[in-house]
Amino acid sequence: MKQKIVLTGILLAAVLFTAGCAHMPGMGVKNMAGTHEQDVYELKISTSQTEQSLITKNYQKLADELNTRSNGRLKVDVLPAGQLGSDEDVIEQAIQGLNVAVNVDAARMGQYVSDFSIMMMGYFTDNYEEAYRVTQSETFQGWCDTLEKDHGIKILSFTFYDGPRQFLTNKEIKEPSDLNGLRIRTIGQEVCTETIQAMGAVPIAMSWGEVYNGIQSKALEGCEAQNTSTYPSRLYEVADYQTKTNHFQLMQGLACGQAWFDYLPEDLQELLVETALEVGKETAASVMDEVADSEKKMEEAGLIVCEPDIQLFKDAVEPVYDKLGLSDLRAQIYKEIGKTE
């Protein structure tokens, strides 16, 4: 079985590498007369989210914009539901120079530049506007520079947004103590697991595709996620309550390999970055409408939505900043963006 998996990975990499090499500068497609036509550069955007999810739709909008604005010189396709492999696999493919880009969050980038993960820390920012200002800060640019130079990862944009994350459980949650002992699925990165544990729950790392069955079978007592994912995943069918704690503001980024990016002509590099930043910010403006609409639809399906005193949850998470050594970094970034603690 292991040999079969390895062979499949090699074949996938070979296919992607062939597609990427065919569109490197100086390797244009020849026409029938033997002259070179205009080079075309292919990019596959990967996400683990479903085709119906909002983030996938937003990346499709980006692909459409790039295909149009580049007059066909960029050929961008979106492959949802992990068709190219797990996010970690696709990041590795990008680092190796393949023509792929992948949807990432701050916790995942924190595996390469540890300070990056603070953007996924509980209650680090309260809304998209604050989180966006962080992405414009000198500190954030420093993280991106380190990703490029030390790890071969190019952040094209970190302006995409998927909304605030909430708890979905089969028990009403009014305060952190109500979470005590509950097995809650979360992102398997330290800032996330420590945040959820500080609130009282037992953090469980599990692939998103297994959450529905996990709650249904009672292997989980619930999960924490954003409405733009919980609604299309139909989690309201197996959970009775949503508790609006807004503990994580889910900023999303699009990352490719620095090596592949460097192969692009300078004008296409600029177009790719500028369009990704622009579309990310534009689509973020519509996310909260989608969040509210999804909440309404889940309520109509029987989900009970609760709004607790968020300060109780903020107070529970506060000690984690000292525990993970993030207090000074938070103060530094808050000073840069003009936010008071």
User: Given a cut of 90, is residue 21 above it in pLDDT?
Assistant: no
Q: Please state the rounded mean pLDDT for residues 61-65.
A: 98
CA distance 248 to 105: 11
Q: How far apart are CA 249 and CA 259, in angstroms?
A: 30
Is the model's pLDDT at 14 over the cut of 50?
A: no
CA-to-CA separations, 311 to 119, 126, 315, in angstroms, rounded: 19, 12, 6
Q: How far is the C-alpha of 122 from the C-alpha of 248, rounded, in Å?
A: 5
Q: What was the pLDDT predicted at 208?
A: 87
- Residue range 140-159: average pLDDT? 98
Cα 11 to Cα 60: distance, rounded to the nearest angstrom? 26
Q: How far apart are CA 205 and CA 187, in angstroms?
A: 6
Tokens of 334: 């808050």
**Long-range interactions of 193-200: CB distance < 8 A, separation 24+:** 194/320, 194/323, 194/324, 195/121, 195/122, 195/247, 195/248, 195/317, 195/320, 196/224, 198/122, 198/316, 198/317, 198/319, 198/320, 199/122, 199/245, 199/247, 199/313, 199/316, 199/317, 200/176, 200/316
158-213: per-residue pLDDT in tens? 999 999 999 999 999 999 999 999 999 999 999 999 999 999 999 999 988 899 99
pLDDT of residue 207: 87
* Residue 91: closest CA among 21, 41, 153, 140: 153
Residues 155 and 277: beta-carbon distance below 8 Å: no
- pTM to 2 decimals? 0.87
Over residues 66-94, mean pLDDT: 96
Q: What are phi and psi of 286, to 5 degrees?
A: -95, -10
Token pair for residue 32? 């029938």
| Residue among 89, 41, 84, 54 nearest 263 (CA) | 41
Q: How many CB atoms lie within 10 A of CB 141?
A: 12
User: Looking at residues 233-244, what average pLDDT do you find?
Assistant: 97
Q: Give the ranges where 96-167 is alpha helix by DSSP (H).
A: 106-109, 128-135, 138-146
What is the pLDDT at residue 34? 34
Q: What integer pLDDT is reported at residue 49 of this predicted model?
A: 86
Query: Is the pLDDT reported for residue 338 higher than 50?
Result: yes
Stretch 12-23: mean pLDDT? 45
**How many C-beta atoms surround the C-beta of residue 300 within 10 A?**
9
Q: Which pLDDT belongs to residue 105?
A: 95
Query: What percent of the chain has pLDDT above 70?
Result: 89
Q: Which range has the worst mean pLDDT, 44-58, 73-87, 119-133, 237-251? A: 44-58
Residue written as tokens 């380190």?
Answer: 146
Q: Which helix (H) or strand (E) holds 42?
A: strand 41-46
